[in-house]
Structure 1
Amino acid sequence: MPRLDSPASAPASPPVYKGVFPVAPTVFDDQGRLDLAGQRRAIDFMIDAGSNGLCILANFSEQFALTDDERREVQDTVLDHVAGRVPVIVTTTHFGTDICAARSRAAEAAGAAMVMIMPPYHGATIRVNERGIHEFFSRVSDAIAIPIMIQDAPVSGTSLSAAFLATLARDIAQVSYFKIETAQAAAKLRELIALGGDAIVGPWDGEEAITLIPDFDAGATGAMTGGAYPDGIRRIVDAYVAGDGEHAAALYQEWLPLINYENRQCGLAACKALMKEGGVIGSDLTRHPFAPMHPATRDGLLKVARRLDPMVLRWGK
């Protein structure tokens, strides 16, 4: 029999997720119905373009415009289709603790590597205090055995100090990843890492990589971006991780106009417009009440993108 302290009997360390994990769009047809064939093609493109992993059912996936049945259908379709090729993060945000826990259990059972969750909020004014937020994440953590990424984003309207996030990481077993999208994200990441120490497994950048280099300078190890050009973001991150900061900065300057156009002009519609242009998906529809992208905005997006020749513009042609 092997010794109890032998490598054969030692518990395996959980994987540490790093790199570029873009958000996959939810693909609809021109009538607004789920297009699962198009969804699979979008996922295949994103993997081919170099994504280290994927995130689904996020805000940039229009998760707020899906029924519960549609959420399950997208989740199960994507996880079945990915079939372990890359890790997949599933967003399970909900105001209700028990509903969020149930969503998280279902994501884990379907094969998710991690869940991403915003603090509970509703509308412009309904918020939960720190005690309630601590209890919320504790109960969700107790329901699953995969990591939780807390999404710290302005959309929740909830102030989460670096000190409070560090407390959550120290106190709650599965809370170990943080996607920081607030103003002055780099400063917050730096403080969070200093306060949380080893409990902070994954300090991540978000918001379409608009603050990518400062966030990685502050210690970020992952980036959750839009889904249209993981190949471009990978070049930047790979150069940075390899220790060539100057090359990473030069690449970032090349891609920044497209990052900026997505972040400031198009929002979540940019990914679908680029994927449709490149033949990845058949429709770039976003669900009403979103309006279609203005033709001039679309032309501007494509003009900026074509200068870079991203894979998305040729993958499906």
Structure 2
Amino acid sequence: MAAEPLAPGVWGVVATPFTGSTQDVDAASLAKLVDHYSRIGVTGLTVLGVFGEAVRLSAAEKRAVLEVVVDSADLPIVVGASSTSTAPVIDEVALATEVVGDRLAGAMVQVNTPDPELLARQLDAVHAATGAGLVVQDYPLVTGVAISAADLAAAVERVESVVAVKAEAPPTPPAIATLTARTGVPVFGGLGGVGLLDELAAGSAGAMTGFSFPEGLKACVDAWWRGGYQAALEAYLGYLPLVNFEAQARIGLAVRKEALRRRGLISGSGVRAPASGMPETLAEQLDRHLAAVENVEN
């Protein structure tokens, strides 16, 4: 399997919708959401990441999610591995290669050590066992592992199978600047798009993140390529209040899924424990933000 660098642009991070009180995977909503991403013209999809609640899915559910996504859109796919130890990561990536096949643009593997030599060994082991190109995700809020941008770059430089880095260790702009200068590998921002403008200015290849209006991420990135900072700023300004609203600690996932539900893109906004639901006290403010974005789009 060739390890081709990820194409620049917006890689939509796909939520995993659940049904009602049983919280089974909602295949129909998932297919509808994936179709929406395809229709707005994203570069590719990222599935079974943190936003996809992959850590709370069984192996059978992960397989089912991947099958729905593959059947719902003809787009390249990055598949996340929720584990951090080598053996279970290999199992997750093997599942992705089996189900997604030639559509697998990369397997997203978490940074699991601050030691660049050990990290390089981990990445080499995953690639040797699966043949997959690797997207290295630096997300200390989830893993608890902090690595310097210089050490991450050193690890990436040693591993030929790395196809991209997803930089989510704040402050992201200087990290992205270091990674792009040192590695030549495309680097994508995440964190809900909060720092997208600054990340583009630092040399990022685009966005790989969840947002209830991925149209806004695409408008910003496309405008950056057409006209630079000022054009991207003007394209993104109307979305930024909602981006910020969805970035609230502990409830951001639930807020974003509720926004997707109110858009009619998924049927339910439930999240699996231990994630927190959206407080009802925020419902009116969410409606205001959604209405404001609708005005931008119209």
What's the TM-score once normalised by structure 2's chain length?
0.90
Aligned partners of 2:135, 2:64: CA distance in 1, in Å?
A: 22
**Distance in 2 separating the partners of 1:117 and 1:310:** 38
> Does the 8 A contact of 2:5 with 2:163 survive in 1?
no
Match of 1:302, SS state, is helix
Amino acid in the other structure paired with 1:178: V
Q: Is 2:151 aligned against 1:164?
A: yes
Which residue of the partner structure matches residue 23 of structure 1? 13
| Per-residue Cα deviation, 1:153-174 (whole angstroms, up to 9, x for no partner) | 1221212222222222222121
What does 1:30-179 align with in structure 2 at a 5 Å threshold? Answer: 30=20, 31-82=22-73, 85-111=74-100, 112-120=104-112, 129-154=115-140, 155-179=142-166
Say if 1:49 and 1:229, in contact at 8 Å, map to a contact too.
no
Amino acid at match of 2:246: E
Deviation at 1:147, TM superposition (A): 2.2
Q: 2:206, 2:228 → 1: CA distance?
A: 17
> What are the residue-to-residue correspondences of 1:6-21 with 2, within 5 Å?
14=4, 16-21=6-11
The residue that corresponds to 1:225 in the other structure is: 209
Instruction: Write the distance in 2 (CA, Å) between the matches of 1:29 and 1:13.
Output: 37
Q: Deviations over 1:148-204 (max 9, x none)?
A: 1111112212122222222222221211311111112111111122222x3x2x111
2:238 paired with 1:247: no
- Provide the C-alpha distance between the structure 1 equivalents of 2:232 and 2:176, rounded to a whole number of angstroms: 20
- Partner deviation per Cα, 1:106-149 (whole Å, 9 max, x = no partner): 212322221111123xxxxxx67444322211101212334211
Residue correspondences, number: 291
Instruction: Indicate the residue corresponding to 1:7 in structure 2.
Output: none
Contact 2:153 2:178 in 1 (8 A): no
**Aligned residue in 1 for 2:190:** 206
Contact map agreement 1:141 1:172 (CA 8 A) in 2: no
Q: Deviations over 1:241-275 (max 9, x none)?
A: 11342121122222110100011264112332122
| SS in structure 1 at match of 2:131 | coil
Partners of 2:57 and 2:160 lie apart in 1 by 30
Higher mean C-alpha displacement, 173-182 vs 262-271? 262-271
SS of 2:227's partner is: coil
| CA shift in 2, pair 1:60/1:181, >3 Å | same
- Secondary structure of 2:188's aligned partner: strand
Match of 1:21, SS state, is strand
The alpha-carbon deviation at position 309 of structure 1 amounts to 0.7
What percentage of residue pairs aligned between the two structures are identical?
26
* Structure-2 change in CA distance of 1:94 and 1:281 (3 Å): same
| Structure 2 residue 179 is matched with structure 1 residue 187 | no
TM-score (norm: length of structure 1): 0.85
1:32 Cα offset (Å): 0.8
Q: Is the 8 A contact 1:231 1:311 kept in 2?
A: no
The match for 1:3 is none
Q: Distance in 2 between matches of 1:54 and 1:310?
A: 26
Structure 2 counterparts to residues 224-303 of structure 1, below 5 A: 224-264=208-248, 266-303=251-288
The answer to whether the Cα contact below 8 Å between 1:21 and 1:52 also exists between their aligned partners in 2 is: yes
CA RMSD of aligned residues (A): 2.3
Q: How many angstroms apart in 1 are the aligned matches of 2:130 and 2:271?
A: 32
Gaps of 5+ in 1: 1-11, 121-126
Amino acid at match of 1:257: P
Aligned mates of 1:13, 1:166 — CA distance in 2: 18
* AA partner of residue 70 (structure 2): L
Assess if the C-alpha contact under 8 Å between 1:141 and 1:173 holds in 2.
Answer: no
1:310 CA displacement = 7.7
SS class of match (1:22): strand
Q: Which runs of 5 or more structure 2 residues have no equivalent in the other structure?
A: none
The answer to whether the Cα contact below 8 Å between 2:192 and 2:209 also exists between their aligned partners in 1 is yes
Q: Work out whether residues 149 and 176 of structure 1, in 8 Å CA contact, stay in contact via their aligned partners in 2.
A: yes
| Letter of the structure 1 residue corresponding to residue 156 of structure 2 | A
CA contact (8 A) 1:42 1:281 kept: yes
Distance in 1 (CA, whole Å) between partners of 2:182 and 2:117 is 19
